[in-house]
Amino acid sequence: MSRTTIGVIGGGQLARMMYEPAIKLGIGLRLLAEGPDVGAAQIFKDVMVGDYTDEATVKSFASNCQIITFDHEHVPTWILRGLVAEGKLVRPGPDALQHAQDKLLMRRRLTTSLDAPAPKWQACADAAELRAFGAEIGFPIIAKASRGGYDGHGVWKLDGPADTGIPFEQALTESAGEKVEIIGEEFVDFARELSVIVVRSPSGQAVVYPVSETIQRNGVCRETITPAPGLSDEQAAGITRLGLDIADELQITGVLAVELMQRTDGSVVVNELALRPHNTGHWTIDGAHTSQFENHLRAVLDLPLGDPRARDPWCVMVNILGGSNQDLPSELLHCFARDPKLRVELYGKDVRPGRKVGHVNCYGDDLAEVRARAEHAARYLGGEIREG
Ligand X SMILES: Nc1ncnc2c1ncn2[C@@H]1O[C@H](COP(=O)(O)OP(=O)(O)O)[C@@H](O)[C@H]1O
Closest separation in Å from C-beta 161 to ligand X:
18
Instruction: Specify the residue, 245 or 272, whose C-beta has the smaller distance to ligand X.
Output: 272
For the beta sheet containing 46-49, the strands, ordered from the edge strand earlier in sequence to the opposite edge, are 46-49, 28-33, 5-9, 67-70, 89-90
Instruction: Specify the residue, 16 or 278, whose C-beta has the smaller distance to ligand X.
Output: 278
Give the containing element (helix H, strand E) for 332: helix 332-338
Applying CB under 6 A, the residues found at the interface with ligand X are: 119, 142, 144, 149-152, 155, 185-188, 193, 216, 219, 259, 271-272
Choose from Mg ion, ligand X, none: what does 149 bind? Cβ within 5-8 Å by kind.
ligand X
Binding mask 265-284 for Mg ion (x = CB under 5 A): -------x------------
CA distances from 45 to 7, 10, 23, 48, 62 (A): 12, 15, 12, 10, 16
Closest separation in Å from C-beta 220 to Mg ion:
10
Choose from ligand X, Mg ion, none: what does 216 bind? Cβ within 5-8 Å by kind.
ligand X
Choose from ligand X, Mg ion, none: what does 185 bind? Cβ within 5-8 Å by kind.
ligand X
Label the pairing between strands 212-217 and 220-226: antiparallel
Choose from ligand X, Mg ion, none: what does 142 bind? Cβ within 5-8 Å by kind.
ligand X
Instruction: Specify the residue, 248 or 272, whose C-beta has the smaller distance to ligand X.
Output: 272
Q: Across the strands, what pairs with 321? A: 356
Q: What distance in Å separates the CA atoms of residue 64 and residue 7, rounded to the nearest whole number?
A: 8
Asked if residues 211 and 228 have their Cβ atoms less than 8 Å apart, the reply is: yes
Choose from Mg ion, ligand X, none: what does 193 bind? Cβ within 5-8 Å by kind.
ligand X
Closest separation in Å from C-beta 358 to ligand X:
19
CA 39 centroid distance within chain: 17
CB atoms within 10 A of CB 83: 23
Site for Mg ion in 332-361 (CB under 5 A): none
The phi and psi torsions of 364 (rounded to 5 degrees) equal 160, -165
Choose from Mg ion, ligand X, none: what does 331 bind? Cβ within 5-8 Å by kind.
none
Instruction: Specify the residue, 141 or 315, whose C-beta has the smaller distance to ligand X.
Output: 141
Instruction: Specify the residue, 200 or 278, whose C-beta has the smaller distance to Mg ion.
Output: 278
Instruction: Specify the residue, 146 or 290, whose C-beta has the smaller distance to ligand X.
Output: 146
Asked if residues 265 and 182 have their Cβ atoms less than 8 Å apart, the reply is: no
Please report, as ranges, the residues that interact with Mg ion according to CB under 5 A: 259, 272
